[in-house]
């Protein structure tokens, strides 16, 4: 598996945050730390999105889903499953 290509970017952070990052991981590990933090936040955002999507379907049952009959499928040119 190849490493992902890295791109330089400019990010503005307060001195306090930079100092705390440097104390935690050292100045030479800032990028790695920030990438991990960004990925963790992206996972949280994706999870929240899944929760919102799930809320839309909350309470649905199989009766709420339309399953076409064999005749309907054949009329549309599809195949009925056996």
Cα-based torsion angle of the residue sequence 5, 10, 14, 17 in order, rounded to the nearest 10 degrees: 10
- Which parts of the chain register pLDDT below 70? 1, 78-82
Q: Are residues 45 and 68 in contact, defined by beta-carbon separation less than 8 angstroms? A: no
Closest CA to 37 of 49, 29, 48: 29
Instruction: Give residue 8's pLDDT.
Output: 93
End-to-end Cα separation, the chain, in angstroms: 42
Instruction: Give residue 72's pLDDT.
Output: 82
What's the pTM? 0.61
- CA distances (Å), origin 32, targets 2, 48, 64: 17, 25, 47
Instruction: Give residue 32's pLDDT.
Output: 96
Instruction: Give residue 20's pLDDT.
Output: 98
């Amino acid at each position: 598996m190849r490493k992902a290509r890295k791109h330089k970017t400019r990010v503005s952070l307060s001195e306090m945050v930079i100092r705390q990052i440097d104390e935690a991981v050292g100045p030479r590990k800032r990028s790695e730390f920030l990438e991990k933090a960004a990925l963790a936040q992206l996972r949280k955002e994706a999870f929240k999105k899944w929760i919102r999507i799930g809320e839309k379907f909350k309470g649905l049952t199989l009766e709420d889903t339309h399953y076409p009959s064999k005749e309907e499928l054949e009329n549309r040119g599809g195949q009925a499953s056996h």
